[in-house]
Chains A and B, each alone.
Chain A
Amino acid sequence: MSQTNSSINEIIKPENLVYKKPSVLNDNPMHYCPGCSHGVVHKLLAEIIGEMDIQEDVIGIAPVGCAVFAYKYLDIDFQQAAHGRAPALATAIKRLMPEKYVFTYQGDGDLAAIGTSETIHACNRGENIVIIYINNGIYGMTGGQMAPTTIEGMKSSTCPFGRDISLNGYPLNITDLLVRLEGTRYVTRQSVHTSAAVRKTKKAIQKAFVYSMEGKGTSIVEIVSTCNSGWKMTPEGANDWMVENMFPVYSIGDLKDI
């Protein structure tokens, strides 16, 4: 035992460091449920902002949803928005301060339900903002109600026997719609359930930030995510369920890059 420990102590030295919590993510413990995808995406944003050295030049906008408190964790300028209104607020901020990197951070209940109009019109105007879209197919914060994005057969607190298309309509694949708008430049759908997926999402968000300074339209990064509490699954079980059931509906990959 002591021999093992001493060899481990030989490795744990500053010169051997390969990964640590990005400093843009502060030490406040995040309120998210254990295993929630929101945490991984917050961490990626912090890594990207640190690596691009834009901590003083970035403004985030988080509307209502579980991530409404994102400002408590990311050490950057932040603005809160009313439910669904982040793209409208981002429009104003970016137009007043075009030298800033401006992003929204929205859930599916926010972006694809109450905020559908703001989302579509900001993208149609080609606002030079980044939209980070966390699609966990559910209203997480309020107790797991059905969202427009809830897939067929998926259970939620308001469709306990699963979404029934004849009663509740079809799941809304809003990202596919946004691809069709002239104002969007970069539209991609990613996930954060494996280290490879995390790396790809990081590249996608990085690209979106760079694009947002080139004046050529809106960049949307959808992240197909889990809400293990709302789905009533373990974090790893939620990841498996997502791969099996969400990915066939919300296919992963770039949808538009011009």
Chain B
Amino acid sequence: MAKIKGAVVVDTERCKGCNLCVVACPTNVLALATQVNSKGYNYSYMEQENACVGCSTCAFVCPDACITVYKVKLDK
């Protein structure tokens, strides 16, 4: 069966740590980092990398367009 796998890249300098992507992700991939960017925001990152399905929900709700989404179908 084909398995969908996704990955996101967060523009950590653009991110304002609003947490909206974190709560929107249906598979709880994202979290806010303990580190901060140059403006002092705890940016979003993939905490559970393997859980991402590339659905783009996080990217749709992000007010600052920080998230790039990739998706592949793996035949298994």
Contacts and interface: CB of A to CB of B under 8 A. Distances in A.
Contacts of B33: none
Interface string B39-76: 00100001001100011110111111111111110000
B14 A20 contact: no
Nearest to A27: B14
A35 B16 contact: yes
Interface residues of A, number: 39
B19 to A, nearest CB: 6
B19 A35 contact: yes
A35 B63 CA distance: 6
Contact of B68 (A7, A10, A20): A20
A193 B57 CA distance: 11
Contacts of A34: 16-18, 41, 63
A39 interface: yes
Contacts of B55: 195
B70 A12 contact: yes
Contact of A4 (B18, B49, B57, B71): B49
Interface centre among B7, B17, B23, B71 (most CB of A within 10 A): B7
Interface residues of B, number: 36
Contact of B60 (A17, A36, A199, A239): A199
A40 interface: yes
B16 A19 contact: no
Nearest to A235: B18
A172 interface: no
**Dominant SS among interface residues on chain B:** mixed
B54 A36 contact: no
Given A10-B72, A236-B20, A236-B23, A37 B50 contact: no
Contacts of A198: 60-61
Nearest to A17: B70
A34 B43 CA distance: 11
Contacts of B36: none
B20 A235 contact: yes
Contacts of A17: 68-70
Interface in A1-50: 4-5, 7-8, 10-13, 16-22, 25, 29-30, 32-40, 43, 46
A40 B71 contact: no
B8 to A, nearest CB: 9
Given A11-B7, A39-B64, A195 B71 contact: no
Interface of A: 4-5, 7-8, 10-13, 16-22, 25, 29-30, 32-40, 43, 46, 192-195, 198-199, 234-236, 239
Given A18-B56, A35-B63, 9 more contacts: A7-B5, A18-B54, A18-B69, A18-B70, A34-B63, A39-B62, A40-B61, A43-B62, A235-B18
